[in-house]
Amino acid sequence: MTETAVGVVVATRDGRVRGRVDDGVAVFLGIPYAAAPFGEHRFAAPAPVPPWTGVRDALAYGPTAPKAPFPPPMDRLLSDPSIPGDECLNLNVWAPAGATGRPVMVWIHGGSLRNGSNCLPAYDGRHFARDGVVLVSINYRLGIEGFGVFPDAPANLGLRDQIAALTWVRDNIAAFGGDPTNVTLFGESAGSISIGALLTSPYARGLCHRAVLQSGAPAAQPPEAAGRSTRLIAKRLKVPATAEAFAQVDRARLLAAQVSITRGGPPIGNGNGFTLAVDGDVLPRDPMVALHDGAAADIGVLAGYNAEEYRLWFVPTGLVDRINRFTLRLALAKFRVRARTARAYRAARPEASPGELLGVIATDRLLRRPLNLLADARTPGDTWLYEFAWPSPMERLGACHALEIGFVFDTLGTPDGLPLSGPNPPQELADAMHRAWVDFATTGDPGWTRWNDTRPVMRFDAPAPLLVHAPNDDELRSWA
């Protein structure tokens, strides 16, 4: 890393890049880690970046992967900017200026595998760099471009993109002051699900050394099930469900078809969407099964959930108020929730409305219970669990999905975070949560008791975090 009069220059294996130094933090934005995934590279595994000569400016965020905006009312709560351009396989780096051998954290964004990018203000990595960590945030292909299932193309292209980005980190991050032998992955929602897969992929072995799973349990489906949305889009377009046919379709038309078949139904339900596929290659097995069988046992895992995940989808849409006792019974039957489980949740929450009760049960079915079972399977071992419990005062959102991100990054008050957190979220909670993530990446210990038979969970709430043991265990035991 060489400082000049016009910035700071770093030599990567593909060419030199120019960033800027801001208050002791070196910032590099929009660095390509793979070739643009269009033209000859469309629906293909990520290809190497064509090397360049001279110095390439890395002063502005790079293009984002093709995606549609969030639909109403999510669009007023979740920011998702789009930046045009083909070189969407890019990453950003924030590093302590002049540092060497620092721990590295790689952020993988969420968005149901069809939204999101690395350019949100809430994902700014300067506070990690301030605290001695080199922070990398990545883009990857989304939707049908990244997670379509075709007979004539590799599956899980978005996951392969993530592996290409981690390979770039291994090969280049030392030049930015990072330690390639101390890399912590962290991600939220679809980013967390991706990390669960990366922990079990043979192609990602050795590329990460710790992992943080935020509000996303490892999961994948057989190719037939994972390809449902691909087949529906092909039917909508009246073309064969092949990569060759899809590559001939105009990008805007393809995206419109994708929107039409994925519209409706929250991600917490079972509507049409995109999932990882157990392809026998980059993902040989269901990642949750592999992790239960001992995969990644040598990698420390910090995992957790938000206390009221469901409220992000149930409250703004009005769904929480539309569900009555009859529709609650239908939903519980559809998802095969046993009567004794429903009774346990009702007994613990006698004042909850039918919509709130369904939301809590859905949250536990999809997140809290799988993560508890994963921690059990990894015991004894380096596993820690947390719960984010601070309730937002905005629009009855409570401790909803995605609310914790600004606290983890210590970026409270950004324009994209305000709709969820409101104008005065507790900074002391951000201080504590951000510090735990930094400590985990630096030392391998976030600062509380490892998972054991007493089931310790760090509950992040104001005015101070509190270690609790076996929270809501009666409800969890009712699933057995």
Q: What is the Cα–Cα distance from 197 to 220, expressed in whole angstroms?
A: 8
Please confirm, yes or no, whether 127 is among the known catalytic residues: no
413: left (phi over 0), alpha (psi -120 to 50) or beta: left
Point out the catalytic residue in the list 87, 188, 309, 356. Answer: 309
CA angle, residues 62, 66, 69, in degrees to nearest 5: 105
Task: Determine the 3-state secondary structure of 9 from DSSP.
Answer: strand
The catalytically annotated residue of 109, 127, 209, 401 is 401
Alpha-helix runs per DSSP H in 266-318: 287-292, 311-314
Specify the 3-state DSSP secondary structure of 28.
strand
Measure the CA–CA gap between 137 and 132, rounded to whole angstroms: 16
How is residue 465 written in tokens?
């975090």
Q: Are 189 and 402 in contact (CB under 8 A)?
A: yes
As a residue count, the chain comes to 480
Q: In the Cβ-directed half-sphere of 148, how many Cα atoms lie within 13 Å? A: 28
Q: Which of 94, 1, 90 is nearest to 49 (CA)?
A: 90
Q: How far apart are alpha carbons 198 and 301 in whole angstroms?
A: 13
Closest listed residue to residue 267, CA positions, set 331, 312, 323 = 312
Could you tell me the two tokens for 271? 């509507």
Beta-bridged to residue 305, according to DSSP, are 387
Q: Does residue 401 carry a catalytic annotation?
A: yes
Q: Across-strand partners of 135?
A: 94, 105
Residue 196: strand, helix, or coil: helix
d(CA 374, CA 219) in angstroms, rounded, equals 12
Indicate if 356 belongs to the active site. no
Q: How far apart are CA 127 and CA 135, in angstroms?
A: 9
What is the residue whose two structure tokens read 């429903």?
342
Contact 460, 390 (CB under 8 A): yes
Give dist(CA 429, CA 434) in Å, integer.
Answer: 8
- Please tell me which residue in 79, 117, 189, 421 is annotated as part of the active site: 189
DSSP-derived letter for residue 328 is H
Torsion of CA 105, 110, 115, 121, to 10 degrees: -50
Q: E strand or H helix at 193, and its extent?
A: helix 190-198
Indicate which residues carry an active-site annotation: 189, 309, 401
